[in-house]
Amino acid sequence: MSEFRTPSETRRPRRHRVCYIPEQIDKTALTSPPTTRNNPVALMCRDVRTLTGVLPLLPNLFRPFSTGRNTDELSLKGRNSINLVVLVVVTVLESLAFTLMSLSYWVLPGLLSIPVAGLLLGLVWLLCAPLRGPDIVYSSLEGDNIINAARRKKERWVFVNGILQSHYGLKQNCDRLAAIFGRPIIGIHNATYGLVGDLLECIIQRSFSFNTYSIRFTYDQVKAFLVDPTVHKVVLIGHSQGGIILSMVLDLLFTDVPAENMAKLEVYTFGSAASHFNNPLRAINPCSGTARTGVIPYIEHYVNSEDLVPRWGVLYNVRTILENRFAGKIFIRMGATGHMLNQHYLDFMFPPLEAQHNNEELGFLDQVVEVDEATPDARDQFAHRVLNVPARACFAENGRCMSINEDMVSTVGTTFKTVREISRLWRYMEGNDPDDLGGRPCVN
């Protein structure tokens, strides 16, 4: 198996607290995606404004820069150094091209700026051509993972990459995920257009619900797995812009795939840039005290708190826009920077089990979570305002009294628990399956 060096072997990380935002229940169905409530142009303006507000965090995308593995995104060793140089050159030249495009609009008379803009966009496309490859990448498996893969033939694990990711980088991500979770990973390449181009694409996807090629291709692949009777479980993993892609793919799937098939899904994101995440409840009855579950049984989001992308994506849309539908548990590594999947998320959150045992520091999985009660409380207050019900009012059935939205109730069972006790994703590490662990129950 490939050598693994823990973060503590290359740099001494300070201990980071973990904040946990419980899942949004919304049994009154008051929330919805932003594109169903707002004008697309207004959404675009808000996206640009909020993105501008977090731009001071831009250097945090790459910090900490130090790395101990060739497969880390910022490694200066081997082929990865060439990959980094190409990405930097593309981003610089692309920024220059977009600047010239803007100047041409103001300087050139009449419609002359249109062909100039077309030429510059074509130049950007050509600059990014070396970073592209096949739409699908398959991970490599080593050692025990080859045997484990044979036992998991009824599972499909799909990964969608984020911004500034080349075809080579996608392969590195897939290999790391395969090594951690002991399954073959199918990578779908969300091709990059440089930093500026990728951010513009994110804004267009979020504001206009524009189904780009990556979204349409991912939809086709995932739908094929869901309707395949030989496939019993489909696990989707998204990073960065991949979170946007997965959220929009789910929107499409909910419209034409039966709930029984959608129940095969599990969704996990890292540093998500998504503005919403749908997961319809199987039943909505405000007068009933019975527990409700979403069509998709497990959705989890993992975030570094000082990472620009989730600050603009998942965190802003969960904590600030209360009318947004954003399903899933959220784990926030407080004070942590970095946006690279391998280097800044997987290295610290899901290191191999032997690395966890050898590390003297309490790792991410063993941190006792600090439950964010303010966000569920704000959700509940929002529901009371919309329904024009006094804050302390409740619905009663069979003598039971409850909160309107039950979001505050969801915080009770997670107090004083570690990430390991709440998270489901970690239970897949080393080729394990949460559904096969018997005496180690999964907390949902």
| Per-residue pLDDT tens over the stretch 67-95 | 778 888 998 888 888 888 888 888 888 88
Query: What letter would DSSP give residue 4?
Result: -
Residue 140 has pLDDT above 60, yes or no: yes
41 contacts 100 by C-beta, under 8 angstroms: no
The pLDDT of residue 101 is 78
The pLDDT of residue 292 is 65
The pLDDT of residue 1 is 41
Structure tokens at 326: 């954003």
Name the pLDDT band for 122 (thresholds 50, 70, 90). confident
Name the pLDDT band for 243 (thresholds 50, 70, 90). very high
209: buried, middle or exposed (CB in 10 Å: 19+, 13-18, 0-12)? middle
CA distance 392 to 257: 39
CA distance 14 to 349: 14
The pLDDT of residue 376 is 87
Q: Give the phi and the psi of residue 159 in degrees, each rounded to 5.
A: -120, 135
The residue with greater pLDDT, 349 or 82, is 349
Mean per-residue pLDDT for 12-37?
83
- The 10s digit of each residue's pLDDT in 200-236 is 999 999 999 999 999 999 999 999 999 999 999 999 9
**In the chain, % of residues over pLDDT 70:** 83
- The 10s digit of each residue's pLDDT in 385-412 is 887 766 554 444 433 334 555 555 555 5
The pLDDT of residue 90 is 83
Omega before 184 cis (within 30°)? no
CA distance 190 to 164: 9
The pLDDT of residue 405 is 53
Mean per-residue pLDDT for 189-198?
91
The pLDDT of residue 411 is 57
This prediction's pTM: 0.88
Say if strands 155-160 and 136-138 run parallel, antiparallel, or are unpaired. Answer: unpaired
- The 10s digit of each residue's pLDDT in 306-335 is 999 999 999 999 999 999 999 999 999 999
Residue 347 has pLDDT above 90, yes or no: yes
The pLDDT of residue 207 is 96
Say if strands 233-239 and 395-397 run parallel, antiparallel, or are unpaired. Answer: unpaired
Find, among 189, 162, 199, 201, the residue nearest to 340 by Cα: 162
